[in-house]
């Protein structure tokens, strides 16, 4: 788990998981690999249960919990095509502007 060197708080990351049927799930965590393993074992989000294999499609360090929550909400409002663009072309700096 990474910590912000200035505040000592855990650094939060946003991640997107691709399901067997192509659906994308977006979440936040302080430890992406651990969270993915939890999802793969059937723990966590009910949305992902029975939709494996699950593949980590995208991850990005965000910073604070507050910023991660805001970013997650913005991503969840996006159309799937916009999420796919983020996965294939990278993170637009205007994501929250």
Question: pLDDT per position in the chain (97 positions), as tens?
Answer: 555 555 567 899 999 999 999 999 999 999 999 999 999 998 888 888 888 899 999 999 999 999 999 999 999 999 999 999 999 998 877 665 5
**Whole-prediction pTM:** 0.85
Of 30, 36, 90, 38, nearest to 62 (Cα)?
A: 30
Domain spans, the chain: 12-89
Q: What are 26's two structure tokens? A: 């977006």
In the sheet that holds 12-18, the strands lie side by side as 24-29, 12-18, 55-63
* ∠ Cα 59 62 63 (to 5°): 140
CA–CA dist 43, 52 (Å, integer)? 12
CA–CA dist 21, 2 (Å, integer)? 32
In the CATH scheme, what is the homologous superfamily, with its name and number, of domain 12-89?
GIY-YIG endonuclease (3.40.1440.10)
């Amino acid at each position: 788990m990474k910590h912000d060197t200035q505040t000592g708080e855990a650094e939060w990351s946003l991640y997107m998981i691709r399901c067997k049927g192509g659906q994308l799930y977006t979440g936040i965590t302080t430890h992406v690999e651990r969270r993915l393993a939890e999802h793969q074992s059937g723990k966590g989000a009910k949305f992902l249960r029975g939709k494996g294999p699950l593949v980590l499609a995208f991850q990005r360090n965000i910073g604070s919990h507050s910023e991660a929550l805001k970013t997650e909400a913005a991503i969840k409002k996006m159309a799937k095509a916009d999420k796919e663009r983020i996965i294939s072309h990278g993170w637009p700096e205007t994501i929250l502007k």
